[in-house]
Structure 1
Amino acid sequence: MFQPSQHDVRRFFCEVLRKQREGMPLVPMEAVAAPWIDEHPEYHADLSDLEAALAASYTVEEGRTNPFLHLSMHLSISEQVSIDQPTGIKQAFGLLAAKLGSAHEAQHQMMDCLGEMIWASQRSGLPPDGQAYLECVRRRATR
């Protein structure tokens, strides 16, 4: 399993934006990331300066969203949906996107569920509970 460092992730997103702006071809994973970068113009300044991106700290106290974490979650959810892992997440995503009228907003809702699953796993010391994550997304799609 590939486990990129924080700097690797930041370099990746900065590079995707640079390549987009320069009209350069993107490798497949960059092509998945590019539309999410487009959907978040509020992050373009953060992604435009690699050195500042590598040095930046995003703390709760600052009240700023970490653009690299946010975009990484979009990529993770896109991958989960594309391979239907956990099984059923593709359907749950489709239902949620239809309910909200927006695949982007559905992903933001799913980020909350994903974050809850990760928090519970860290707190309990147990592996992430994909079924709990799936049920959280389903509840949001059906309530």
Structure 2
Amino acid sequence: MLMFNPSREQVRRFFCESWRKHRQRQVLEGAEATAADLIEQHPEYHALLENPESAVEQEFTPEGGQMNPFLHLSLHLAIADQISIDQPFGIRAAYHALRTRLDVHEAEHVILECLGETLWRSQREGTAMDANQYLECVRRSAGK
């Protein structure tokens, strides 16, 4: 299986370029369209993304109380992909259950919290991500 593993700079440039193309009404290709839609839902990131050179270099630290906007957008992008292909199996149904009481963006944020927690746990424990634990977290949240 071929995995795409972009560098930090590539990820940041991808989001900046997707936003630039969207603002200039250029044709968006592949994931750029999804990225531009996500960025549009996060106006707090617009100014940052409109200055790519600064965005690529900027550090975002939890100690500074800053959420990394590129991590946030990347998790949104991953979730959109997971829902579209229903991987892990059941994520699409759990998302639709969340959508019965939340709008699209709020539902994605609930899933994002579960994904972030699951990734953090796997990094802390030095193990692979537990897809079952992730899906169970989303299902619990959907049942609230």
TM-score higher than 0.5 here?
yes
User: Which residue is equivalent to 2:127?
Assistant: 126
User: Which residue is equivalent to 1:53?
Assistant: 55
User: How large is the RMSD of aligned CA atoms in angstroms?
Assistant: 0.8
Give the Cα separation in 2 of the matches to 1:90 and 1:55.
Answer: 36
User: Which residues in structure 2 correspond to 1:49-128 (within 5 Å)?
Assistant: 49-100=51-102, 102-128=103-129
Give the Cα separation in 2 of the matches to 1:31 and 1:106.
Answer: 20
Give the Cα separation in 1 of the matches to 2:24 and 2:116.
Answer: 34
User: Which residue is equivalent to 1:136?
Assistant: 137
User: Which residue is equivalent to 1:14?
Assistant: 16
Give the Cα separation in 2 of the matches to 1:126 and 1:70.
Answer: 22
Number of aligned residues: 142
Secondary structure class of the residue paired with 2:12 = helix
Give the Cα separation in 1 of the matches to 2:61 and 2:123.
Answer: 19
Unaligned runs of 5+ in 1: none
The residue type equivalent to 1:139 in the other structure is R
User: Which residue is equivalent to 1:36?
Assistant: 38
Give the Cα separation in 2 of the matches to 1:98 and 1:91.
Answer: 11
The residue type equivalent to 1:83 in the other structure is I
Residue 48 (structure 1) shift: 0.5
User: Is the CA contact 1:46–1:67 (under 8 Å) kept in the aligned structure 2?
Assistant: no
Unaligned runs of 5+ in 2: none
Secondary structure class of the residue paired with 1:123 = helix
Residue 94 (structure 1) shift: 0.7
Query: Which stretches of structure 1, 4 residues or more, deviate above 2 A after TM superposition?
Result: none
Give the Cα separation in 1 of the matches to 2:101 and 2:47.
Answer: 32
What percentage of residue pairs aligned between the two structures are identical? 53
